[in-house]
Amino acid sequence: MRTALVTGATGGLGQHIVRFLDSKGVRTIIHYNKNEEIAHKLEDELKHVACIIKGDISDYESVLSMSEEVSQKVGPVDMIINNASITIDKLLIKYTEDEWDRVINTNLKGTFNVIKSFLPQMIKYGGGDIINISSYSGIRGSEGQAAYSASKAGLIGLTLSLSKELSVYNIKINVLVPGYLPLGMGLKAAEAMKRAVDMSARRNLSSPDDVVELIYFILKSRSITGQVFTCESRVGFNY
């Protein structure tokens, strides 16, 4: 049975991911930072939860402790879905250094922290899969989201570079761009969601079901690595 760590598992998309993986018989490690109640509800609801872990992914020592805890309780992880992220939406001229650091340290450095800390386990296991959740803001940019866009663009560069480094360990790593979802952060960005609908070829938002099915397809693939997958058809969008 494969074992997947899902960061930010208590968020809107994170919950969809762990529920879908659980339905496919994948053992899930539910990561959370603040939403302990939701984490325990998921643990009670699902059949194949390996454990739940708390940690601040922006803090390397915290993530290293997470890795050691998982290694002791569960054993090696062979799948990682780097889903946890935050945004602070405002014009750059109004940003504070602390706000910028919080977004970059969670979304980009946090992903580095997780991969770096859990990589020895994956190598010991003999390979595995990493999926980094990015955003259209990281490809096209978005007004009022300079830090978020920069962090999500950074995930793409990180993934493409690591696909070359990690292939020797039989580890595949890819990026998934969900598009705007009627969940979590998406629900708090009404104007952005409206623009996303206007730019969509089908005039609708992305579907969480499509996202999790694409994640599962990537995880099952034998050799796909270093790719950017999108879940939304955009007019005039090319990558």
Question: Which residues are tagged catalytic?
Answer: 148
Q: How far apart are CA 220 and CA 234, in angstroms?
A: 26
218, two tokens: 């990537």
The residue type of 43 is E
* Strand blocks (E) in 139-238: 171-177, 228-230
Determine the 3-state secondary structure of 88 from DSSP. coil
If you count them, how many residues does the chain have?
239
- Contact between 14 and 82 under an 8 Å Cβ cutoff? The reply is no
- Contact between 106 and 57 under an 8 Å Cβ cutoff? The reply is yes
Of 168, 177, 178, nearest to 227 (Cα)?
A: 177
Say how many C-beta atoms besides its own lie within 10 A of residue 156's C-beta.
18
Burial class (CB in 10 A: 0-12, 13-18, 19+), 47: exposed
Q: How far is CA 86 from CA 28, 80, 110, in A?
A: 22, 18, 11
Residue with tokens 């090696």: 76
